Amino acid sequence: MFEDFVNFVRDLYSTQEPIPLHAPQFHGNEKKYLIETIDSTFVSSVGKFVDCFENSVQDYTGIKYAIATVNGTAAIHLALKLSGAARDTEVITQSLTFVATCNAIRYCEANPVFVDVEKSTLGLSPQSLQEFLEEYCELRDDGFCWNKSTNRRIVACLPMHTFGLPVQLDEIKHICDRFNIELIEDASESMGSFYKEHHTGYIGKLSAMSFNGNKIITTGGGGMILTNDEELAHTAKHITTTAKIPNILSFEHDQIGYNYRLSDLQCALGISQLHKLDSFFEERGKIAKKYNEIFGSEKRFKVPNVLKNVEHAYHLYPLQVEFSKINLKKNKFFELMKQKGIN
Residue partners of 335: CB distance under 8 A and separation at least 6 = none
Rounded Cα gap, residues 138 and 61, in angstroms:
35
Residue 14 has pLDDT above 90, yes or no: no
Q: What is the pLDDT at residue 203?
A: 98
Cα-based distances in Å from 273 to 62, 100, 213, 278, 280: 18, 24, 12, 10, 9
Whether the Cβ atoms of residue 34 and residue 270 lie closer than 8 Å to each other? no
Instruction: Write out pLDDT tens, residues 273-300.
Output: 999 999 999 999 999 999 999 888 888 8
Radius of gyration of the chain (CA): 21
Q: What is the pLDDT at residue 303?
A: 92
Cα-based distances in Å from 75 to 80, 84, 156, 233, 343: 9, 15, 15, 12, 29
Instruction: Write out pLDDT tens, residues 217-245.
Output: 999 999 999 999 999 999 999 999 999 99
Whether the Cβ atoms of residue 145 and residue 138 lie closer than 8 Å to each other? yes
Instruction: Write out pLDDT tens, residues 108-131.
Output: 999 999 999 999 999 999 999 999
Residue 99 has pLDDT above 90, yes or no: yes
Whether the Cβ atoms of residue 153 and residue 89 lie closer than 8 Å to each other? yes
Rounded Cα gap, residues 157 and 142, in angstroms:
19
Instruction: Write out pLDDT tens, residues 122-167.
Output: 999 999 999 999 999 999 999 999 999 999 999 999 999 999 999 9
